[in-house]
Amino acid sequence: MDRKEKRDFVASLAAAFADASIVVVTQPKGLTVAEATDLRRKVRAAGASYKVAKNRLATLALGGSQFEGISPLLKGPTALAWAKDPVAVAKVVTEFAKTNDKLAVLGGSLGSQPLDAAGIKALSELPSLDALRARLVGMLNTPATRIAGVLQAPAGQVARVLAAYGEKASEAEAA
């Protein structure tokens, strides 16, 4: 890469980090092309990005951003994954690392909060943003259903009492 390409790469990486809420640092030691492609496909499906970058260029891109605290993790062969949804990228990278011992999760940063590998693993065990939204909608919908049932119950009881009186009166007329 010449200097202009390096500057453009650092600028594009910095712009990507500005939009992200999490950056995960991984160490891909000996991943085959097929395994790396599979990981990239899974990360992309989760709405995240995954890039192998030179540590010096990644450190320059991280400089001045909220993720500046992860610069010490950039030693040796590293790759970065980032996304707006912090749980999705943590889940994908952690699950891939469980099934493939050639990928190690070194840590990351959730906003300005640095996380170690255990923190990324704990984050991956949380429900995703979509699951939390579904739970919230379910919680909001349940009380409304219960209120409607409670409001309908007295009316139903009154209707049953009136129907019983009607049946009793028709039996009395028939007798």
Task: Tell me, yes or no, whether 45 and 76 share the same domain.
Answer: yes
140 and 158 in one domain? yes
The token duo for 125 is 């065990």
Does residue 160 sit in the same domain as residue 101?
no
Tokens of residue 49, six digits: 């990005």
Both 54 and 111 in a single domain? yes
Domain, as residue range, for 145:
127-175
DSSP the chain: --HHHHHHHHHHHHHHHHH-SEEEEEEE-S--HHHHHHHHHHHHHTTEEEEE--HHHHHHHHTTSTTGGGGGG--SS-EEEEESSHHHHHHHHHHHHHH-TTEEEEEEEETTEEEEHHHHHHHHTSPPHHHHHHHHHHHHHHHHHHHHHHHHHHHHHHHHHHHHHHHHHHHHHH-
Do 159 and 115 fall within a single domain? no
> Are 75 and 121 within one domain?
yes
Parallel, antiparallel or unpaired: strands 48-52 and 22-28: unpaired
Same domain assignment for residues 52 and 108: yes
Same-domain check for residues 121 and 136: no
Instruction: Identify the pLDDT of residue 33.
Output: 92
For residues 142 and 131, state if they share a domain: yes
CA 51/CA 44 separation, integer angstroms = 11
The model's pLDDT over 51-110, given as tens digits with 9 standing for 90+, comes to 998 989 998 988 888 888 888 889 988 999 999 888 889 999 999 999 988 899 999 988
Q: What is the pLDDT of residues 139-168, one digit of tens each?
A: 777 776 666 665 666 666 666 777 777 788
User: Comparing 115 with 138, which gets the higher pLDDT?
Assistant: 115
User: Is the same domain home to 100 and 148?
Assistant: no
**Residue 123 pLDDT grade (very low, low, confident, very high; cuts 50, 70, 90):** confident
Q: Are residues 144 and 58 in the same domain?
A: no
| pLDDT tens digits, 4-54 | 998 998 899 888 888 888 999 999 988 899 999 999 999 999 889 999 989
* CATH number of the domain residue 117 falls in: 3.30.70.1730
Instruction: Count the domains in the chain.
Output: 2
Supply the pLDDT for residue 41: 94
Distance CA 49, CA 82 (A): 5
Contacts of 57-60 with CB under 8 Å at 24 or more apart are 57/6, 57/9, 57/10, 57/13, 58/13, 60/10, 60/14
- Do 99 and 114 lie in one domain? The reply is yes
